[in-house]
Amino acid sequence: MWMPVRLGCAVAPAALLGVLVAAGPAAAAPEQRCPAPAPLDLGTLPGDVSSEAAGVNNHGEVVGSSRTPPTGPGTSVSRPVIWTGGGVLGLGSLGGTAGGATAINEAGVAVGWSWTASQDTHAFSWSRGRMTDLSPGATAEASGINNAGDVVGFGVVSSGQVHAVLWPRRGGMRDLGTLGGTYSFAAGVNNRGQIVGTAATADETQHAFVWQDGVTSQLPDLAGGTATATAINDRGDVVGVSADGQGNVHAVVWRGREIQDLGTLGGPFSFATAINDEGLIVGSGRINNEPPVPAGPGVHALLWNAGTICDLGDLVGGVGRSEASGVNDRGKIVGRITTASGNTHAVVWKPLR
């Protein structure tokens, strides 16, 4: 059974998780409390106990997953959903019991992953009530889609390795290769057809990349470290995370070939997960210097705007953990918050202007 590694609402190679645990002291960036209303809880499918939002389009349609209550250890099941003005709707499946939606374009086409009847994981696209298998016969997940309908993600290719892949709108599945190593993951694609993600080099070190017109280019990282790219806007600005040689893990943005360290709120790590066309960046990070465990209190959703970091805070009565995973061009931010019960709920922060 396919068991990809996920960190928060974004896909992250397992190697980066090991770096997080070893993260050292971090330099704080200028902080301000965002002039934003409290996050709105989007809820779950009826009878479910938790949910998370992964992406949002400019119409305000939100996609993610809703999770059933556990009946025993490891029995809770994730299901792909969409939140619209009419509430929450399950997207169905490819025959199996589990799945999740990861992105949505302006036409309302959602993509993600679903188990089949044999519990294999396949990439899917969903539109107007119909789910389509993008990877029949191949284990794969979809993580991004542009307005032309090009879908990106990762899957098992003919070599047996996991590679970044592209499903062009014309059909088929294209192996995007690596940077010389054995694995790669595609995280996002913009409307210019530029694809970003993470790939291994010949020494199996992971680095961020941009793919365009058949050419894969490695992006720089913080000195002596590794990097993961998570999203790209239509201007070609890329965001993600990079670890330097001292073990510090920071959110970063690449503009052209230049990398900028976005800093933290005084904690040991931060992540950037999405960027809109106006340059607003969202993600999450620890807000204090407690032990750098990625799961637990003290991690807050963050917004980087004009050189400052805004702490998006938590639900009233929450446990002090929130994460932001998407932002549209109108400034609407989506993500998840851990409630007092310990379950996560999908939330939306309304535009800040």
**What is the pLDDT confidence band of residue 350, given thresholds at 50, 70 and 90?**
confident
What's the token pair of residue 37?
């209303």
pLDDT at residue 297, rounded to an integer? 60
Query: Around 201, how many Cα atoms within 13 Å sit in the side-chain half-sphere?
Result: 14
**Contact between 271 and 241 (Cβ < 8 Å):** yes
Model confidence band, residue 286 (pLDDT cutoffs 50, 70, 90): confident
Delimit the domains of the chain by residue range: 6-347
Q: Give the number of residues written for the chain.
A: 353
Give pLDDT, residue 19: 37
**Cβ distance 148 to 191 under 8 Å?**
yes
Pairing of strands 270-275, 281-286: antiparallel
Lowest mean pLDDT among 33-37, 132-136, 196-200, 259-263: 33-37
Opening angle at CA 21, ends 17 and 22, nearest 5: 115
β-sheet bridge partners, residue 3: none
User: Tell me, what's the pLDDT at 36?
Assistant: 57
pLDDT confidence bin for 331, thresholds 50/70/90: very high
What pLDDT does 12 receive? 40
Of 240, 179, 217, 289, nearest to 16 (Cα)?
240
pLDDT reported for residue 10: 39
Q: What is the DSSP string of 112-125?
A: EEEEETTS-EEEEE
For residue 239, pLDDT over 70 is answered with yes
Phi and psi at residue 245, in whole multiples of 5°? -65, -15
Encoding tokens for residue 151?
Answer: 């879908």
pLDDT band at 7 (very low <50, low <70, confident <90, very high): very low
Confidence at residue 287, expressed as pLDDT on a 0 to 100 scale: 82
- CATH superfamily placement of domain 6-347: Peptidase/esterase 'gauge' domain (2.130.10.150)
Q: What is the pLDDT of residue 160?
A: 96
**How confident is the model over 129-173, as pLDDT tens digits?**
999 999 999 999 999 999 999 999 999 999 999 999 999 998 899
Of the candidates 7, 73, 74, 4, the one whose C-alpha atom is nearest the C-alpha of residue 293 is 7
Torsion of CA 335, 279, 216, 229, to 10 degrees: -30
The pLDDT tens digits of the residues spanning 37-64 come to: 678 999 999 999 999 999 999 999 999 9
Q: Return the pLDDT at 20.
A: 35
More confident residue, 335 or 32: 335
